[in-house]
Amino acid sequence: MKGLTVMQINDKVKIVVSEPWNFTSSDGDNMFHCSVMATKKAIPVFTIKGTVISNIVLQSRNTHGQQYNIYLLPKGYCLDNFQNDNSIGQKLIFSIIGEMQ
Q: How do residues 21-63 score in pLDDT, each as one tens digit? A: 889 888 899 998 888 877 666 666 677 767 778 788 888 887 6
Residue 34: predicted pLDDT: 85
Q: Is residue 66 within 8 Å of 2, Cβ to Cβ?
A: no
Type of residue numbered 95: S
- Given a cut of 80, whether residue 92 has pLDDT beyond it is yes
Phi, psi (deg, nearest 5) at residue 74:
-60, 150
Q: How do residues 59-89 score in pLDDT, each as one tens digit? A: 888 766 678 898 888 888 888 888 888 998 8
pTM of the model: 0.74
Phi, psi (deg, nearest 5) at residue 42:
-140, 150
- CA distances 85 to 34, 58, 78, Å, are 23, 16, 10
